[in-house]
Amino acid sequence: MVTSQAPTAGRPRGELVLGIETSCDETAAAVVADGREIHSSIVSSQVDLHARFGGVVPEIASRAHLELINVVVAEALVEAGCDFADLHAVAACHGPGLAGALLVGVSAAKAVAVCRSIPYVGVNHLEAHLQAAWLDEPDLTPPLAVLIASGGHTMIVIVESRGRYRVVGQTVDDAAGEAFDKVARFLGLGYPGGPAIDAVATSGDPRAVRFPRPMAGEGFDFSFSGLKTAVVQYVRKHPEVPVADIAASFQEAVVDVLSTKLLAAAEAAGARTLVLGGGVAANRNLRARVDALAASSGRRAYLPGPALCTDNAAMIAATGWFRLHSDGPTPLSGGATPGLRLPVVG
Amino acid sequence: MNLRAKSLAGTEAVGRVVADVLVPGDVVLLTGDLGAGKTAFAKSVAAGLGVTEPVVSPTFTIVREYDGRIPLVHVDVYRLDHPNDAQDLALDELLDEGRIVLVEWGERISASLPADRIEVSLGAGPSDDARDLTVEVRGAAWVPRRAALEAALRAAGPDVGELP
């Protein structure tokens, strides 16, 4: 299934960057002008394929990326109303992510760069999530307190300016999205776990079970492994409690910890704006809570739509454009780095 | 050898004892259900090996590598359902003589792993924080090392007891 975001009407102008994202389970391509105007953003969801396995299986992921990459890139160009010849540069996510999957996108991007003699830019996936905010909201004023929460990452980043980041907190064990996936699998709710729990939790009581809030009041780091264990132990002892109540109470604990720490980090850094990114940012409960916390603390909440929160290539194209202008192109000898970290200041 | 850890500290003590006997090239299989304490055990092995950076779940990335007294490769095959996937992981490259490889959910790919290895399984104990552990060694290379490992486990401290 190939889905797309509504493109901007008319013939594209400005510096067009083709972005490619293949770090995990989405094959995505997008055309963005001047790092802010989305002309196309195509995401080919592989969730159906992975549903059988309860997670992302790396070899399946790279094989599927390989089958989809040319289709998705062609679709992004057609929808943007342009051709390879119109491109100013090409950007691909080069980490962090699954090695085989990353290489598909990086290799495709380099091939385009070589054939068209245009610059190639390797983009950090985490930085792209941070920069996604500017795609919807060009007037965003730093400092921002950003929570990135997904299947593989959970961190709070203070964005001092576009391109200057400080990681003030991160998970010490499982990522928030991973906890959603594992608890959903344990409760028999299917994959992906975030939407599955979000959906079933609406009919449950979030106060039915008081699950622990790991590391609450202990700085800005997170821990979700113990919470997952607490859910498993509770369900074994109380099999009679409805799954909806367990799901709602678990979600409540995660949302409570994520939102409270984001606000505390913003207060400590003097950030007036709270931003969400990553797949978990699509959780309706988390969005509502962050909105409420921002309002009650006199701050602004900026919550990009799910299409920009989840993995997409528009954020790669936008960040590629930004980095091309700040640091220049990436050498074609540059590879993919599965454990790549966010470039930070200080 | 069957052990009971009375607390998280006990589970961690077993992890440190195992780390102390490991030498470069060793392979550790870690098995146990969701919430059994594999993450906590893996963290204590890493701490025992002198890893100072945070050890986080490798579920999403499948493989994470750490520098310690002996380099540690932390693998999680939770998301692999077929033995062939182990080949796709390039497991041969990970099983380097200079490093220690710790595999969570390792029973799923045990046929692809070396015959010489330690297997640690974690299960629920009599209380929420307690765990019953089984530590077994396999392969000829472990025969001469077995007695020292078991003696060290018996001396793991007050939070660890031997079960019949």
Indicate the domain borders of chain B: 2-147
pLDDT at A139: 86
B 40-69 residues with CB below 8 A of A?
40, 43, 54-57, 59-65
Q: What is the pLDDT of residues B1-35, one digit of tens each?
A: 999 999 999 999 999 999 999 999 999 999 999 88
Which token pair is A40?
């196309």
Check CB contact under 8 Å for B59 and A171.
no
Give me the amino acid identity at A315: M
d(CA A245, CA A21): 37
- The answer to whether B18 and B120 are in contact (CB under 8 A) is yes
Contacts of A338 in chain B (CB under 8 A): 61, 63
Position A2 scores a pLDDT of 59
Helix axes A243-269, A193-201, angle to 10 degrees: 110
pLDDT higher for B84 or A269? A269
Q: Does A178 touch chain B if contact means CB atoms closer than 8 Å?
A: yes
Report ipTM (2 d.p.).
Answer: 0.80
Which residue is it, tokens 């046929």? B111
For residue A173, the chain B residues in CB contact (below 8 A) are 39, 43, 55-57
In chain A, where the domains are located: 2-130+309-327, 140-303
Between A55, A98, A182, which is nearest B34 by CB?
A: A182
Q: Which parts of chain A register pLDDT below 50?
A: none
Distance from CA of A37 to the nearest CA of B (A): 31
- Of 3.30.413.10, 3.30.450.40, 3.30.420.40, 3.40.50.720, the CATH number of A2-130+309-327 is 3.30.420.40
Stronger pLDDT, B89 or A226, i.e. the higher one: A226
| Segment B28-73, tens digit of pLDDT | 999 999 888 898 999 999 999 999 988 998 887 778 889 899 999 9
- Residues from chain B that touch A280, judged by Cβ atoms under 8 A, are none
CB contact under 8 A, B40 and A182: no
Average pLDDT over residues B153-163: 93
B35 with A229: CB under 8 angstroms? yes
B80/A57 CB distance under 8 A: yes
Closest residue, chain B, to A60 (C-alpha): B85
Residues of chain B with Cβ-Cβ distance to A182 below 8 Å are 34, 59
Tell me if the pTM is above 0.90.
Answer: no
Query: Across the interface, do A59 and B88 touch by the CB < 8 Å criterion?
Result: yes
The arithmetic mean of pLDDT across residues B101-107, rounded, is 89
State whether A178 and B57 contact (CB < 8 Å).
yes
State whether residue A204 is helix, strand or coil.
Answer: coil
Residues 85-104 of B with CB under 8 A from A: 85, 88-89
Domain A140-303 has CATH 3.30.420.40: yes
Among B51, B59, B73, B77, the residue to mutate for chain A (most A Cβ within 10 A): B59
With CB atoms and an 8 Å threshold, state whether B65 touches A339.
yes
CA nearest B128 in A: which residue?
Answer: A233
A339 lies within 8 A of chain B by CB: yes
CA pair distance A271, A268, nearest whole angstrom: 8
Å from B42 to nearest chain A CA? 11
- Which is more confident, A22 or B86? A22
pLDDT of residue A338: 82
pLDDT (0 to 100) of residue A346: 61
B81 at the A interface (CB within 8 A)? yes
Block residue for tokens 């780091």: A221
pLDDT at B77: 83
**Measured between CB atoms, which of A55, A100, A236 is closest to B78?**
A55
* A263/A295 Cα distance (integer angstroms): 11
Instruction: Determine, for residues A56 and B60 on separate chains, whether the beta-carbon distance falls below 8 Å.
Output: yes
Q: Which residues of chain B make contact with A103, given a CB cutoff of 8 A? A: none
Residues of B in contact with A185 (CB under 8 A): 34
The answer for residues whose C-beta is within 8 angstroms of residue A240's C-beta and 6 or more apart is none
Looking at the complex, report in whole angstroms how far the Cα of residue A151 sits from the nearest Cα belonging to chain B.
Answer: 7
**How far apart (Å, rounded) are the C-alpha atoms in residues B144 and B89?**
31
* Minimal Cβ distance to B61: which of A53, A54, A338: A338
Which residue on chain B is closest to A52 by alpha carbon?
Answer: B81
Exposed (0-12), middle (13-18) or buried (19+): which is A333, by Cβ within 10 Å? Answer: exposed
Which pLDDT does position A54 carry in this prediction?
55
CATH class in words for B2-147? alpha beta
